[in-house]
Structure 1
Amino acid sequence: MDGHETPRDPYIHSRGLKIPKHPQITTGRVRGALRGGTYERKECDAVSRVVRAGDCVLELGGGIGYMSTLLSVKKKVARVVSYEANPMLLPYIASVHEANGVKNVEVRNALLAPESGAPVDFHIRQNFLASSLDREADPEGVTGTVQVPRHGLADVLPEVTPDVLVCDIEGAEAELLPAGDWSGLRCAVIELHPQWIGQAGVQAVFDAMQRAGLTYFPKASEAKVVTFRRGW
C-alpha cells in the first residue's frame, strides 16, 4: 500500500499521487491496483526510463488522468496534451489534476484520427470505463450516445510538436500510427493490442516507428507495452 489512508481520507495514495475516490471509477480491481502501485505499471516503468524533465508529451488515451499526472508531478515534463474520447471521464481527470496541483496538462475531449472529419459517435455505458466507440462490444449496456470531435494527425503533430508519445488506444494504434509523421519524436511508449490488431497490426506499428527513425528499446518494454527511442 502506497501511503496511509484513513476511512475519511478522500484520496487513494498511489506512487506518491493523490487519486480522488469515486464510486464508479476507483472500485474493485482499479482501487487495489492504485493502492498497490501496480496501476498501469508497465507504462509507468517505461516512461520512468525514457521521459525527461522539460519534455512535451502527446498522450493518446487519457484514461483517468493517472499517467498525465505522473508525467507532470514525477517526471517534471513541460507539457502534456492528452486526448481522451470519453466525455464522462473529463470531470474526474480534472479532479485528479487538481488534487495533485497539475496545471500543465491540456485534456482534449476528441479522437485523434488519420484525417480530420465529421464527429464520431461515442457510446456511454453505466460503467464509465467501459464506454467506447464500439457499440457492438456491449449494445445492451449503452445508456447514451454523444458525438466526439475528430482531429487530424496532420494538424495536431505540427501544433503540439511532441518529444514523447504515450499511446494506449485499445487497438486503434494499428490504423493511426502508420498515418502520422513521427520523425520529431525522441521516444514513444505504446501499448499494443495484438488480440484485436493481429500480427499485421503489430508489424504496422513497428514499421511506423522505424520510418520515424526510432528503434525498439527492450529495456523499457514489457509484454504488450513497447518502447521505441532514437539512437542507442
Structure 2
Amino acid sequence: MRSFTLRGLTLYLPEAALKGNLERALSSGRYENHEADALLLHLRPGDRLLDLGAGLGFICALAAGVLGEDAVMGVEAGPETVKLARRNLVANGVPGVKVLKGAVVGAGAGEVDFGQRPAFWASSLKGPDGWPESAEVIRVPARPLGKLLARFAPTAICCDIEGGELEVLTQPLPGVRLVVVETHPQVYGPEGVQRIVAALVAQGFAEAEGAKKDTLVFRRSVGPGAE
C-alpha cells in the first residue's frame, strides 16, 4: 500500500492501482487539483456537496474539512475503489462521509454494466466507441441522479464520471447552486461539452471563476430550483 499527501490529506492505494499518469499526478499534487481549487473557492458554510465519481475520496475528504462530515456524500461505481475511498475517509478523520456504491445515471433503476479497468480512474460506463481497452465488464447498482438529489439535497455537485456527465448534467438540478465538472471531450467531442453548458445555462447557471482546461465551473443564485 502506497501513501501520498495532498493538501494536508493522506491518500492510500495499492501499488497495483498506480497505472498511467496517476502516480505522477499524486506525487506532484496535480491529482484532481482543478476540481479542488474550484470547490475551495466557491463552497460556503451551509453547502451540501454531492461528489459524483468519488475515486479515492480526496474531494469528499477535502470538502468535509470545510463543510463537515454530514454535509458530504460521494458516489463511486468501482467496488474496490469504494473500499479505498471509505478507508481514506477514515484515515483522514472524516468517517461520517457516506460513499455509495453505484454508477450515476440520468434515469433508470436496477443495475448497469460498468467497465472496471486496472487504472480505476479510467473506468467508466460504455461509451459511443464501446468499452475502454482492458475493461472488465461488471454489474453495479444504477444510481439515478434524481433519486440522489432527493435523498441528499445537495447545493453543490462535483462530477468526474468519465463521460457519463453528458447524460447526468443535462437532467434537472433542483436546489443546486454550484456545479464543478470535469468534462471528457475525447468521449463525446466539443458538441457534447456544449450540450452540457447549454443545459446548465437553461437552468439559470452561469460560468464562474475557477474553470481550467476541461474542468468547468457553474454557479447560480437565482433560477429554477435554486435556493
- Seen in structure 2, the aligned counterparts of structure 1 residues 39 and 210 have a Cα distance that, compared at 3 Å, is same
Q: 1:206 aligns with which of 197, 206, 220?
A: 197
Residues 1-232 of structure 1 correspond to what in structure 2 (within 5 A)?
11-26=3-18, 29-74=21-66, 76=68, 78-134=70-126, 136-138=131-133, 141-142=134-135, 144-178=136-170, 180-217=171-208, 219-231=209-221
**TM-score under structure 1 normalisation?**
0.84
> What whole-Å deviation, never above 9, does each CA across 1:65-117 have from its counterpart, x for those lacking one?
11111111255464222111111212211211111011332111112212122
Structure number with greater Rg is: 1
Give the Å deviation of 1:207.
Answer: 1.8
Q: Which piece of structure 1 moves more, 73-82 or 197-206?
A: 73-82
Mapped partners of 1:130, 1:195: distance in 2:
12
Mapped partners of 1:168, 1:200: distance in 2:
18
Give the Å deviation of 1:133.
Answer: 2.9
- Seen in structure 2, the aligned counterparts of structure 1 residues 131 and 182 have a Cα distance that, compared at 3 Å, is closer
- Does the Cα contact within 8 Å between 1:54 and 1:76 map onto a contact in 2? no
SS at match of 2:110: strand
Q: Which piece of structure 1 moves more, 72-81 or 13-22?
A: 72-81
Mapped partners of 2:146, 2:123: distance in 1:
27
**TM-score under structure 2 normalisation?**
0.85
Mapped partners of 2:21, 2:187: distance in 1:
23
Give the Å deviation of 1:168.
Answer: 0.8
- Does the Cα contact within 8 Å between 2:114 and 2:125 map onto a contact in 1? yes
Which amino acid in structure 1 is aligned with residue 211 of structure 2? S
Give the Å deviation of 1:155.
Answer: 2.2
CA RMSD of aligned residues (A): 2.4
- Seen in structure 2, the aligned counterparts of structure 1 residues 38 and 128 have a Cα distance that, compared at 3 Å, is closer
Which amino acid in structure 2 is aligned with residue 164 of structure 1? A
Mapped partners of 1:156, 1:113: distance in 2:
10
> What whole-Å deviation, never above 9, does each CA across 1:160-204 have from its counterpart, x for those lacking one?
1111010111111112211x2213111110111112222321122
Unaligned runs of 5+ in 2: 223-227
SS at match of 1:147: strand
SS at match of 2:46: coil
Unaligned runs of 5+ in 1: 1-8
- Does the Cα contact within 8 Å between 2:17 and 2:118 map onto a contact in 1? no
